[in-house]
């Protein structure tokens, strides 16, 4: 695909030609052999435009993530399979909201985390947080074998010993690059390690092999099932959580999924469907409650950083008509259309970016790059801290007021998200 003309067209179509030269240069990293990545970027730009986000509020970090990381995390990079990507601590705020939820009216303490990913970090975390709850994690891609190399990078294999997925120990862009610079060599290396360890087992330290690795995470309170939405046999639960899964599927599948969730939820129980990124940044979700035998949509909530996100989860979806994303951008647009609020927000937030040297505005007013000396953990901790400063400075309440002025029933919910009553 012709990158230059593609980007020129997108710039004209979605940003009035206002994307910076630096941004477009970075986006030239888009892999020419991946039409799925090109259409994904176009879809994201459409959501950016629908949100009322100007070209200047896209950062050089966004361009890097779209140009390089995206190809690695989309199903197209993994033979069409949805990669089991998960990030530790990602749903911590959602765990808290489940533990202190105004809608949850059932008496039990059971939960299904569907599409839990592997390793199932976020399911383990919710099980640790919700003491005495019985939590079940389920995913159609739980591996038969898990192989770590000497650096802690890992690969998962199915029961036919075919490689499903691999990931660096620390998933930075550089670490991904070193595993992906020669994909077949990386796969071969992991396959050799698997075959070697099946003959001479090594089960501790790095490198090592784990067979049926999900078993090692099970406890009295936590168990796992291999299978996806509508596929597993399971009793009704008080809470069903489905996070960072639905955006891979079309609305038709999502409707069927909600129907299945309804059958698998006890009366008074809740279903939470949404997505987020590291440290619960860019968090958004719909909350449903089962009432009189039916799942009813109660609330749509999102974190304040979705107004001006550092990463791309806010716009991340395989489908341009994804109903959750359309809801999210609709509310962002209303907020961004309030000039008085945005002036105050930008003054505060731009000074945070400048102080932290994280994508500060340049002399032309365009958001810049991250500090590349930071590890991913340091980077996302800083971004989370900036998010918490926005909360402390009262910006969530201010957003709620902006929405109320537009006739929307909004509140600050129990975990400082902007919650809209539906
Ligand atoms: C991006 S991961 C999300 C993991 C985890 N929920 C998290 O947020 O940390 C998406 C997961 O969805 C799973 N998945 C794919 N198809 C599914 C289906 N039909 N039902 C449930 N999960 C599915 C994939 O195997 C993958 O592990």
Q: Kindly state whether residues 69 and 132 are assigned to the same domain.
A: no
The contacts found for 98-101 with CB under 8 angstroms, 24 or more apart, are 98/126, 98/130, 98/239, 98/241, 98/270, 98/272, 99/129, 99/130, 100/414, 100/415, 101/270, 101/414
- Rounded to the nearest angstrom, the distance between the alpha carbon of 98 and the centre of ligand 1 is 20
Mind listing the pLDDT tens digit for each residue in 221-234?
Answer: 999 999 999 999 99
For a ligand 1 pocket test, name from 89, 117, 167 the mutation site with the most ligand atoms within 8 angstroms of its C-beta.
Answer: 117
- Rounded to the nearest angstrom, the distance between the alpha carbon of 45 and the centre of ligand 1 is 25
The helix or strand, by DSSP H or E, that contains position 365, with its residue range, turns out to be: none
- The total number of structural domains in the chain stands at 3
Mind listing the pLDDT tens digit for each residue in 38-77?
Answer: 999 999 999 999 999 999 999 999 999 999 889 988 999 8
For residue 173, give every residue at least 6 positions away whose Cβ sits within 8 Å of its Cβ, in sequence order, or none.
64, 68, 69
For a ligand 1 pocket test, name from 245, 255, 285 the mutation site with the most ligand atoms within 8 angstroms of its C-beta.
Answer: 245
Going by C-alpha positions, the residue among 25, 54, 23, 27 that lies closest to residue 38 is: 27
For a ligand 1 pocket test, name from 74, 80, 115, 225 the mutation site with the most ligand atoms within 8 angstroms of its C-beta.
Answer: 115
Q: Average pLDDT in the 153-157 region? A: 95
- Rounded to the nearest angstrom, the distance between the alpha carbon of 350 and the centre of ligand 1 is 35
Q: Kindly state whether residues 158 and 132 are assigned to the same domain.
A: no
Q: Kindly state whether residues 262 and 352 are assigned to the same domain.
A: no
Q: Which atom of ligand 1 is nearest to the CA of 242?
A: 6
- Rounded to the nearest angstrom, the distance between the alpha carbon of 116 and the centre of ligand 1 is 6
In a domain, 87, yes or no: no
Mind listing the pLDDT tens digit for each residue in 281-310?
Answer: 999 999 999 999 999 999 999 999 999 999
Strand, coil or helix: 55: helix
Q: Kindly state whether residues 96 and 73 are assigned to the same domain.
A: no
Using left for φ > 0, alpha for ψ between -120 and 50, and beta otherwise, residue 28 falls in alpha
Percent with pLDDT over 90 in the chain: 90
Q: Kindly state whether residues 228 and 114 are assigned to the same domain.
A: yes
In a domain, 14, yes or no: yes
In a domain, 85, yes or no: no
* pLDDT band at residue 376 under the 50/70/90 scheme: confident
In a domain, 286, yes or no: no
- Burial label for 257, CB within 10 Å (0-12, 13-18, 19+), is buried
Q: Kindly state whether residues 204 and 265 are assigned to the same domain.
A: no
Q: What is the mean pLDDT of the chain?
A: 96
Residues 380, 279 contacting (CB under 8 angstroms): yes
Mind listing the pLDDT tens digit for each residue in 402-416?
Answer: 999 999 999 999 999
In a domain, 353, yes or no: yes
In a domain, 285, yes or no: no
* pLDDT band at residue 88 under the 50/70/90 scheme: confident
Q: How far is CA 404 from CA 93, 103, 289, 346, 401, in A?
A: 24, 21, 24, 21, 5
Predicted local confidence at residue 102, as pLDDT: 97
In a domain, 297, yes or no: no
Taking CA atoms only, the protein residue closest to ligand 1 atom 14 is 115
Q: How far is CA 60 from CA 27, 29, 63, 385, in A?
A: 9, 12, 5, 21
Comparison of pLDDT for 170 and 37, the residue scoring more: 37
Predicted local confidence at residue 1, as pLDDT: 63
Please name every residue paired with 271 in a beta bridge, in sequence order, or none if there are none: 240, 288
In a domain, 86, yes or no: no
Q: Kindly state whether residues 35 and 161 are assigned to the same domain.
A: no
Q: Which two tokens stand for residue 93?
A: 């705020």
Please name every residue paired with 155 in a beta bridge, in sequence order, or none if there are none: 147, 166
Q: Average pLDDT in the 320-324 region? A: 98
- Rounded to the nearest angstrom, the distance between the alpha carbon of 344 and the centre of ligand 1 is 38
Going by C-alpha positions, the residue among 26, 70, 68, 80 that lies closest to residue 44 is: 70
Mind listing the pLDDT tens digit for each residue in 167-212?
Answer: 998 877 788 888 988 999 999 999 999 999 999 999 999 999 999 9
What is the extent of the structural domain holding 346? Answer: 3-78+305-421
Q: What is the DSSP letter of 215?
A: G
What does the angle CA 243 – CA 72 – CA 169 come to, to the nearest 5 degrees? 80
Q: Kindly state whether residues 321 and 359 are assigned to the same domain.
A: yes
pTM of the model as a whole? 0.95
Q: Kindly state whether residues 206 and 256 are assigned to the same domain.
A: no
Looking at 211, 239, 259, which one is the last position of a domain? 211
Backbone dihedral angles phi then psi of residue 190, each to the nearest 5 degrees: -65, -40
Q: Kindly state whether residues 233 and 309 are assigned to the same domain.
A: no
Strand, coil or helix: 225: strand
Q: Kindly state whether residues 195 and 235 are assigned to the same domain.
A: no
Residues in the chain: 422
Q: Average pLDDT in the 235-260 region? A: 98
Q: Which atom of ligand 1 is nearest to the CA of 139?
A: 22
Q: Kindly state whether residues 228 and 101 are assigned to the same domain.
A: yes
Q: What is the DSSP string of 232-261?
A: S----EEEEEEES-GGGS-HHHHHHHHHHH
Strand, coil or helix: 274: strand
């Amino acid at each position: 695909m012709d990158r230059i003309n593609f980007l020129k067209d997108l710039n004209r179509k979605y940003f009035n030609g206002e994307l910076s030269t630096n941004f477009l240069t970075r986006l030239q990293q888009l892999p020419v052999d991946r039409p799925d990545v090109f259409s994904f970027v176009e879809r994201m730009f459409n959501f950016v435009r629908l949100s009322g986000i100007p070209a200047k509020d896209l950062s050089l970090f966004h361009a890097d993530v779209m140009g390089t990381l995206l190809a690695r995390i989309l199903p197209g990079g993994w033979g069409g399979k949805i990669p089991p990507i998960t990030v530790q601590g990602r749903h911590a705020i959602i765990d808290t909201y489940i533990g202190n939820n105004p809608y949850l009216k059932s008496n039990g303490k059971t939960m299904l985390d569907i599409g839990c990913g592997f390793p199932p970090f976020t399911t383990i975390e919710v099980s640790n947080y919700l003491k005495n709850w019985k939590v079940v994690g389920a995913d159609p891609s739980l591996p038969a074998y898990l192989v770590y190399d000497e650096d802690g990078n890992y690969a998962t294999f199915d029961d036919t010993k075919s490689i499903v997925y691999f990931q660096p120990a620390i998933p930075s862009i550089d670490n991904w690059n070193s595993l992906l610079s020669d994909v077949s060599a990386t796969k071969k290396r992991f396959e050799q390690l698997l075959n070697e360890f099946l003959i001479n087992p090594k089960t501790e330290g790095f490198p090592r092999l784990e067979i049926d690795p999900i078993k090692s995470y099970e406890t009295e309170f936590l168990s796992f099932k291999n299978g996806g939405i509508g596929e597993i046999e399971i009793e009704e639960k008080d809470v069903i959580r489905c996070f960072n899964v639905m955006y891979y599927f079309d609305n038709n599948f999502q409707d069927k999924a909600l129907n299945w969730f309804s059958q698998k939820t006890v009366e008074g129980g809740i279903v939470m469907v949404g997505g987020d990124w590291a440290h619960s940044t860019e968090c958004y979700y719909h909350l449903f409650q089962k009432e009189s035998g039916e799942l009813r949509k109660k609330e749509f909530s999102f974190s304040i950083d979705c107004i001006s996100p550092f990463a791309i989860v806010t716009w991340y979806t395989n489908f341009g008509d994804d109903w959750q994303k359309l809801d999210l951008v609709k509310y962002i647009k209303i907020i961004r259309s309030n000039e008085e609020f945005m002036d105050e927000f930008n003054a505060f937030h731009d000074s945070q970016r400048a102080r932290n040297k994280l994508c500060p505005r340049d002399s032309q007013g365009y958001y810049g790059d991250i500090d590349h000396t930071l590890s991913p953990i340091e980077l996302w901790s800083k971004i989370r801290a900036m998010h918490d400063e926005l909360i402390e400075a009262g910006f969530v309440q201010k957003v709620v007021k902006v929405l109320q002025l537009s006739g929307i029933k909004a509140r600050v919910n129990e975990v400082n998200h902007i919650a809209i009553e539906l």
